Structure 1
Amino acid sequence: MKFGQVEHPEEVDFKLPPVSSDTIKLLNQYKNDQPFEVSVGCAKWNKADLKGFYPRGTKDELVYYSQQFNSVELNATFYNSPSKEQVNTWKEKTPADFKFFPKIPQSISHYSRLLQTDEKVRAFTDAIAFFEEKLGMIFLQMHDNYKPKDIARLEEFLKNFPKGMPLALEVRNEEWFANGEIAQSFYKLLEDHGVTNILVDTAGRRDMLHMRLTTPIAFVRYVGANHPSDYQRLDDWIQVIKQWRAAGLQKLYFFIHQNIEVESPLLATYFIDQLNKEFDLNLRGPHKTTLF
């Protein structure tokens, strides 16, 4: 993941912003005694990217990956909308508790820019529905140059998105965050449609750490800098998640990227260990002796 990459990460202030009071207010509406649902994983299971993660002789990368982690951020669907047969194959290879988080194809988000996409969306969601109980959440990532002037188009897309399909959204253009009035309109739009607002923690775009949740679900895309500070940054996230959970957070979806992806399983394993300790969870993760 090259988005937000910087040449000198040691010069970046990685301190997390304070949690939005609006986020706390929203979460308070959902406070209950339900178990904390947590999914942590990498962006992909491709052997070329995660070189060294798979033991010699591994015959099926997804089978092995899904035995180590409980979820994956499925970026493969961004490049090609999968068939129902492909989705079913992925589903059948994984444990009962495994979750997929597929990205909406670029043919919808980037090429069509949400215009006249009903048939493409229907084909995608009809296939994705075959994940059944293993579908975590679909996510839509807009192009860097998709600006607030097209918010009406976004509203129409969200209004028509198939009901019952959990959806998260990531916007990247700076204009969404630079103006408080625009940002508030955007957050309200997501709240009104029950869409989860994605937070991105990456070195070169600290403005995407808006810390504003729009559902009782936190969907975080964490991009390490292949730098020692990556671990301290994850420790800081534990403190934020504690605050959210105390306020009423129901679910956490946390996916770890690296500019050089080979280190992603190491970071994910560390983070899983911290979550298990802090929240008395039993999330599975690779045993350290199996990594590299």
Structure 2
Amino acid sequence: MRLHVGCAMWTHAPWRGRFLPHPLAPAERLRAYATWCNAVEGNTTFYATPARSTVETWAAQTDEDFRFVLKLPRTITHERRLADTGEDLTAFLDAIEPLGPRAHALWIQLPAAFGPTDLGSLASFLHRLPRAHRYAVEVRHPAFFTDPRAERRLEQVLTRAGAEWIPFDTETLFRAPPATDAERESWTKKPRLPSRREALTAHPIIRYIGRDSAEETENGWAPWTEKVTAWLAEGRSPTVFIHTPDNAEALPLARRFHAQIRTRLPTLPALPTPTETEPLTLF
């Protein structure tokens, strides 16, 4: 029984000197983050496939139980829309190979225009993928959330491939008008879709975004504490990513989520002890 929690990135300016040591060499930032959380979203891989040497440094800074959920490059998902992707996919898989088991799942985030009529392309793409990796799909077309037939068809495609459906829960974000600049910006960029709380595999992945108020964020994730506790009791191994519009408090919030689950399931392994931000003194 293991719960992994994390954030959308491992380095963020508001964390420096508060939660993570500062200054800190770039090659040590992931190592410091990994003392707070045991998973991270790999959003940067959406924009470009990293150099293999860069990925080797990621592996060196984390233990084998650490989880990366790595987003496939946009050339594959958005530009080529899952067709004729062989060269790009091969380059990506080669680049991330040094992560080994840390590459928990490859994240296929599809554009909002990718709808029910495109499911044949998704099924074909998933069928061609190597079985050495676990796959998870995030969709943003409204029909998958409002049309039961489209939802069932997507579930069938994913289940046949052994892939998970990643929900991005934005309900708390949109529950009240934005109160900060970051919330206003998030309102223009984040998908406004119904929340989904069903798992298709033994390794569900959740993306949750709250508000810049830690209290509102925590109150909003209450349904997830129930669901994640139930999944763990069933023998599943979930990964939960905590976001806020400015992400300033995302690190401690991720740990707070884990702590709340651990109060319900005391046998759940604890997270690491965070790295000190300042040297310890005798006085």
Q: Deviations over 1:176-220 (max 9, x none)?
A: 222111110110110110001112111345644222221122210
Tell me how large the CA RMSD over aligned residues is: 2.2
Q: Structure 2: which amino acid aligns with 1:41?
A: G
Structure 1 consecutive aligned stretches of length 4 or more whose deviation exceeds 4 Å: 285-291
> 2:281 corresponds to which residue?
none
Structure 2 runs not aligned, ≥5 long: 175-190, 279-283
CA distance 1:69–1:210, change in 2 (3 Å) = closer
Is the CA contact 2:119–2:157 (under 8 Å) kept in the aligned structure 1? no
TM-score, reference length from structure 1: 0.80
> 2:120 corresponds to which residue?
152
Instruction: Determine which of 251, 261, 267 is the counterpart of 1:265.
Output: 251
> 1:190 corresponds to which residue?
158
> 1:224 corresponds to which residue?
210
Q: Deviations over 1:245-280 (max 9, x none)?
A: 34x242101011111111211211211211222222
> How far apart are the structure 2 equivalents of 1:121 and 1:217?
23
1:215 aligns to 2:180 (yes or no): no
| Aligned-pair CA distance for 1:49 | 5.9
**Same amino acid, percent of matched pairs:** 29
> 2:47 corresponds to which residue?
79
> How far apart are the structure 2 equivalents of 1:286 and 1:109?
37
| Aligned-pair CA distance for 1:89 | 1.4
Structure with bigger RCO (C-alpha 8 Å, 6+ apart): 1
Aligned partner of residue 137 in structure 1, secondary structure: strand
Q: Structure 2: which amino acid aligns with 1:177?
A: F
1:114 aligns to 2:101 (yes or no): no
| Aligned-pair CA distance for 1:230 | 1.0
TM-score, reference length from structure 2: 0.83
> 2:177 corresponds to which residue?
none
> 2:19 corresponds to which residue?
53
Is the CA contact 1:109–1:141 (under 8 Å) kept in the aligned structure 2? yes
Q: Structure 1: which amino acid aligns with 2:156?
A: K
> How far apart are the structure 2 equivalents of 1:229 and 1:201?
14
> 2:240 corresponds to which residue?
254
| Aligned-pair CA distance for 1:80 | 0.9
> How far apart are the structure 2 equivalents of 1:208 and 1:103?
22
Q: Structure 2: which amino acid aligns with 1:42?
A: C
> How far apart are the structure 1 equivalents of 2:229 and 2:122?
32
Aligned residues: 255
> 1:26 corresponds to which residue?
none
Is the CA contact 2:163–2:200 (under 8 Å) kept in the aligned structure 1? yes
> How far apart are the structure 2 equivalents of 1:152 and 1:86?
35
Is the CA contact 1:103–1:139 (under 8 Å) kept in the aligned structure 2? yes
> How far apart are the structure 2 equivalents of 1:78 and 1:48?
21
> How far apart are the structure 1 equivalents of 2:207 and 2:62?
22
CA distance 1:161–1:174, change in 2 (3 Å) = same
